[in-house]
Amino acid sequence: MSAVGAQAEFARIAGEDGRAALVSVIEGGNLSAKLLVCADGEIVGGLGSPELDRVAVEAAEELMWAERSEQRTLGGIKLFVDVTAPAPRLIVFGAVDYAAALCRLARAAGWRPFVCDPRSQFATPERFPDADEVIAAWPADAFARIGGIDRATYVAVLTHDPKLDDAALELALRSEAPYVGAMGSRRAQAHRRERLLAAGLEEELLDRIAAPIGLDLGAVTPEETALSIMAEVVAVRNGRAGGRLSEVGGRIHEVGA
C-alpha cells in the first residue's frame, strides 16, 4: 500500500473509532514516506530502511496503547507518530451502588464504562444508565462479550462475593489490563489472596491487584468512593502516583500551557 493508501486507511480507522498509529517522516528523510501500524499488529507501508521501520514500529506500538501522539528521532531523521484510539474502557464487576456512581464519573471523564454481574436481577440497564453496556454474565462470558481485555481496559471488582471476585480477578490478572482493582478491607484482601494462591495464581500476578481499591481520599459515600477509584485509575493510565500536586516537582502536565 502506498503512503496515500496508508494515510487513507488511518483515516478510515480513526473514523470508525479504532486504534492505530501512522508514522511520518517530517525532517531528514523521505517526507512522503508513511508507515501504518494497526492494533492487531498489521504493518502497512514503510519509511525507506529496515532500521527506520523497526524504530517506527516500536514507537507506534508503544504510543498507540499509551494513546498519545509524539515525535521521535533516529540519526537526524525526525518522525511523527500520529495516534488514533477509542476512549479507554472501565470494566466494573458488581452491580452495586458504587458501580452506578463509578459509571457516572467514568462517563463524565470520557471513559466507556461496562457493568458485569451474573445476577440478572441486579444487572439491568435501568440501574446503570451511564454504562455502555450492562452484561448479566459470569466473568469469562462477560469478558468475551466485550471482546476480551486489552492494554486499554481497566478492571474494578466491587463485589464482596468470593465466587464472583475470584473468577473475575483470575481472568483480569492474567490479561493485559494495566489496572486491576478490588474492593474490600485489608482482612478481606488477605483472605482473597490466600484463596487465589490456593487456586494456582502466582505471587507476581497477585501483586498487580490494587487493593484496597482507590486513592486515600477519606471517601465514605458511593460518590466519594467512585471519585477515589476513578482518580487511581486515571493516575495509573497516566503513569502517575496520584499524590498531591503541591508535593510534586517538575511539570504538572505532559504538555505545558
Among candidates 94, 88, 75, which has minimal Cα distance to 183? 94
Domains along the chain with CATH numbers: 3-84 (no CATH), 89-237 (3.40.50.720)
Q: Rounded mean pLDDT of 56-73? A: 92
State the cell numbers at 227.
Answer: 471519585
235 class by beta-carbon count within 10 Å (0-12 exposed, 13-18 middle, 19+ buried) = middle
State the cell numbers at 120.
Answer: 440478572
Residue 4: per-residue pLDDT:
74
Categorize the per-residue pLDDT at 75 as very low, low, confident or very high, splitting at 50, 70 and 90: confident
- pLDDT per residue over 19-30, tens digit each? 999 999 999 888
Instruction: Say whether pLDDT at 1 is over 60.
Output: no
Instruction: Say whether pLDDT at 176 is over 70.
Output: yes
Q: Rounded mean pLDDT of 236-245? A: 86
Q: Rounded to two decimals, what is the model's pTM?
A: 0.85
Q: What is the chain's Cα-based Rg?
A: 21
How far apart are the C-alpha atoms of 195 and 84, rounded to whole Å?
40
Which of these ranges, 36-40, 132-136, 200-204, 238-242, has the smallest mean pLDDT?
238-242
Let me know: does 33 contact 46? Beta carbons within 8 Å. Answer: yes
Q: Rounded mean pLDDT of 166-170? A: 93
Computed over every residue of the chain, the mean pLDDT equals 91
Categorize the per-residue pLDDT at 257 as very low, low, confident or very high, splitting at 50, 70 and 90: very low
Residue 256: per-residue pLDDT:
36
pLDDT greater at residue 49 or residue 37: 37
